[in-house]
Structure 1
Amino acid sequence: MELGVKGKVAVITGGSKGIGLATALLLAAEGAEVAIVAREIESLRVAAEQIKEQTGKEALVISADVSKPEDADRAVALTAAHFGRVNILVNNAGTSAARPFEQVGAEAWTADLDLKLLGAAQFSRAVLPHMRESGGGAIVNVTAIGGKTPGASSLPTSVSRAAGLALTKAMSKDLAADRIRVNAVCIGLIRSAQIERMWQAKAPELSWDEFASDKRHGIPLGRIGDAKEAANVIGFLVSDAASFVTGTSVNIDGGLSAVL
């Protein structure tokens, strides 16, 4: 099935690695133009080379700190100036910061919320004029299943992710009249640099396939997911194939979460 994103322009934060890069690769392969945003310029350049090799597309590389409003405005302005429009935004930037409540100080709360919540909000505000000018658009906020079912020692990440889900629903209501759809995906255990570090720390004697399929992860589908599998869902949500889908969240977790 063609996604209907050919010729559209996508901004992807956290686009140099993991789910962000996989999403950029998918959209570029489907004919979209992509701007990838992250802090590390070298990682961005490597990612752009990979996109060029696999899809033939020249990705726009933008070094920016998503937690800074001025960087969000600059990144979107550069994208619009380079490609002439912005139709898609994937708010994927984020890190995992999980500690017990008493160990989370004011600075940690601020840093996490600035990155995951306010960063997504600022990028979304910045793209609005361009999406309205184009007659609509699609935004996907990448969150985590912990935002729906916070566990012990999951702070501040689980709270920031829960706020991201509320942001998604509220934005979907406010922006629907402009034909701007806003959805979220909730990520479970997906292969990433962080998960690979956990693998090396906990079970270096196992191969990746053995570690990924370890029953102790408790994943009903029996394995850790791949970034491409997350990208497939994100690609659907930003595409014309999902033209009547807004204000919802999709778990990408192999059935791990206890809630819908």
Structure 2
Amino acid sequence: MKGSVAIVTGGGTGIGAAVVRRLAERGVHCVINYASSRDDAEALADEVGEGAIAVQGDIVEDAACRALAASALSAFGRIDFLVNNSGRTKFANHEDLDALSAEDFIDIYRLNTIAPFQMIRACAAAMKQGPHSAVVNVASVAGVFGNGSSVAYAASKGALTTMTKSLARSLAPAIRVNAVAPGYVGTGWFEKRLGEAGFAALNAQIASKTPMAIAPGPDDIAGPIVMLLDPASRVITGETMLLDAGAHLDVGLSRRPGKEI
């Protein structure tokens, strides 16, 4: 992977930042996209060094996607990898059908589903020139099981996993397209809102409910993302990998002593 070039959307914080660090360790040049987290993205680019640049762009706009691809080509001359990590939600009880408007659905779909398509389209021509190009879309277990923060969020991530299969088929053999579907991820978003003690308590609660006794953090998600980008995974395309420490294994949970659900 050394010498390759990756674009990571939402790359300044959380999972995106963890992906950038892991790629940089492998000698990959990174284009760190951000919409509003300028300080975080620029600090990360400084941390990584000459192999990274931070580029602002609201990727719900197709022009911003094309400009981001152009920035990568201008800086590094190629695009090998794309990680579609940006996303948004609106918290709404699934039983409250009046909690979401059509505008809420559209706003969530624009970033969670349409923007990844626009990014892939903007990068496809350049990526087809490389010998081992790959895309990883960051979806969610909500898109697999229909749970999560809201019906709109679950639907948008479900659409993203379906689109992953469609594009894996249409872009083969030049570009592999896969997705990861995290469950809970202990990012700074939770820590800022819950405080240190509350965040620790939440992680302990999550860990107690997973077969692997883990509350996943950003780096736990970044590892599999980089694995899917690696040319060593050349036979993997069109897949969605669940990254929830086994929380989806209800049977496994029910059989753990003291962990009945």
The verdict on how the C-alpha distance between 1:188 and 1:181 changes in structure 2, with shifts beyond 3 A counting, is: same
Unaligned runs of 5+ in 1: none
Runs of 4+ in 1 over 6 A off after TM superposition: none
Aligned length in residues:
246
Q: How far apart in 2 are the matches of 1:17 and 1:106?
A: 29
Q: TM-score, normalised by structure 1?
A: 0.88
Q: How far apart in 1 are the matches of 2:47 and 2:89?
A: 25
Unaligned runs of 5+ in 2: 251-261
Correspondence for 1:46: 43
Which structure has the higher relative contact order (CA within 8 Å, separation 6+)?
A: 1
Kindly indicate whether residue 211 of structure 2 is the aligned counterpart of residue 229 of structure 1.
no
Kindly indicate whether residue 57 of structure 2 is the aligned counterpart of residue 64 of structure 1.
yes
Q: CA deviation at 1:58?
A: 3.4
The verdict on how the C-alpha distance between 1:195 and 1:219 changes in structure 2, with shifts beyond 3 A counting, is: farther
Which of 233, 236, 251 pairs up with 2:242? 251
| More divergent stretch after superposition (244-253 vs 134-143) | 134-143
Q: CA deviation at 1:172?
A: 0.5
- 8 Å CA contact retained: 1:214, 1:223: no
Q: How far apart in 1 are the matches of 2:24 and 2:249?
A: 34
- 8 Å CA contact retained: 1:37, 1:63: yes
Q: TM-score, normalised by structure 2?
A: 0.88
Which amino acid is the alignment partner of residue 117 of structure 1? T
TM alignment of 1:103-114, pairs within 5 A: 103-114=99-110
- 8 Å CA contact retained: 1:98, 1:155: no
Look up the SS of the partner of 1:144 in the other structure: coil
Q: How far apart in 1 are the matches of 2:208 and 2:146?
A: 17
- 8 Å CA contact retained: 1:214, 1:222: no
Correspondence for 1:88: 81
Q: How far apart in 2 are the matches of 1:95 and 1:196?
A: 18
Kindly indicate whether residue 171 of structure 2 is the aligned counterpart of residue 175 of structure 1.
yes
Q: How far apart in 1 are the matches of 2:42 and 2:85?
A: 18
Identity, in percent, stands at 26
TM alignment of 1:111-150, pairs within 5 A: 111-150=107-146
